[in-house]
Amino acid sequence: MTRNFFDRLPPVEPSTTVGFSGNSLDRRSEGRNESTYAAALADPNLRVFLLRGDEAMMRAGGTSESLFSLKEAKALGALMDDAILLGWEGSSPRIAAIVGNETSFDVDAFHAVPLRTLATAAYSGGILSDTVEPGTLGALAQARALLHWHAVNRHCGRCGTRSTMAQGGYRRDCPNCGLQKFPRTDPVAIMLAVDGDRCLMGRQARFAPGTYSCLAGFVEPGETIEDAVRREIQEEAGIKIGRVAYHASQPWPFPMSLMIGCIAEAISTDIVPDTEELEDCRWFSRDETRAMLDEDHTDGLSTPPRMAIAHTLIRAWVEAG
Ligand SMILES: [Zn+2]
């Protein structure tokens, strides 16, 4: 009997369980051109996401609302010249714009809420008055990544001339030499190394006290994801890795990464930590790791929150045992 290749995959796609996934906007990338942005701006159904760095502007008062009319956006100081067209929700265009840090607003009517805070609350079942739907978080991640890309790519990389936005924000064109640039996503490999019934986790000094997580690092040019996993663990922990299995991915808009989550098979066990990167790095038994996931560890150690792909990787390995 022929075995279906896809039978080996988990019944629920793991990437759907992480924060910033589930973006429901219709990007219409094939039909996006210079006129669609103008048409979107003139559409009475247009709604605008407003971002201030890593924060989303939200209406205060528990309405969970991160969308504004064009008139409201302008009143809040949106920089509409640099706005981008994200896509459509049904027939309603969605645009994202930056609100400057110096912009003042009525703090009783509006909040600027960190995207990490929104994602953590949305996926933990936590009660936060400014929590948004998972699909909206995905759109906010798309907005944050694109707005950042434009902010750091204002000039042509070949001749240095100021470039102009095209296709509603999905391209920049150089008026001098004609170079076209498209938004980039930076691939980051994040991995849980495992040795039988124990896994390798480390902590950076910037982590919350007691938090341990997967190791991670940028995939370098000319490198496969698997090779990046093996190199990162070797560099950060001195552990040699054999087989590598992809598990899930996560849009990570800080500022514009795609986290590629893998489980990695350790073939050596003596840890030689990179003390520049890591404050601590050690093996954890499956039972100890389970207690950390359940926030029931005797020493108060914990993993990142549910919205983080590190949590997804750690939980997948714990539950597989
Ligand atoms: Zn140029």
What confidence score (pLDDT) does residue 1 get? Answer: 56
Residue pair 262/244 in contact by the 8 Å Cβ criterion: yes
Distance 171 CA to ligand 1 centre (A): 14
Q: How far lies 14's CA from each of 74, 78, 113, 212, 312, in Å?
A: 39, 36, 27, 21, 7
Amino acid at 5: F
Distance 163 CA to ligand 1 centre (A): 7
Distance 39 CA to ligand 1 centre (A): 28
Distance 180 CA to ligand 1 centre (A): 8
The Cα 86–Cα 274 span in angstroms is 40
Give the DSSP per-residue string, 136-195: HHHHHHHHHHHHHHHHT--B-TTT-PBPEEEGGGTEEE-TTT--EE----EEEEEEEEEE
Distance 161 CA to ligand 1 centre (A): 5
Counting other chains too, the contacts that 159-164 makes at CB distance below 8 Å and 24 or more residues apart are: none
Residue pair 77/103 in contact by the 8 Å Cβ criterion: yes
What are phi and psi for residue 5, nearest 5 degrees?
A: -50, -40
Distance 165 CA to ligand 1 centre (A): 13
What confidence score (pLDDT) does residue 220 get? Answer: 98
* pLDDT average per 10 residues of sequence, the chain (321 residues): 79 93 90 87 96 92 80 93 95 94 80 92 72 88 97 97 95 98 97 98 96 98 98 98 98 97 98 95 98 96 96 96 86
Q: Specify the 3-state DSSP secondary structure of 258.
A: strand
Distance 154 CA to ligand 1 centre (A): 11
What confidence score (pLDDT) does residue 103 get? Answer: 74
What confidence score (pLDDT) does residue 3 get? Answer: 76
Distance 184 CA to ligand 1 centre (A): 18
What confidence score (pLDDT) does residue 100 get? Answer: 83
Distance 185 CA to ligand 1 centre (A): 22
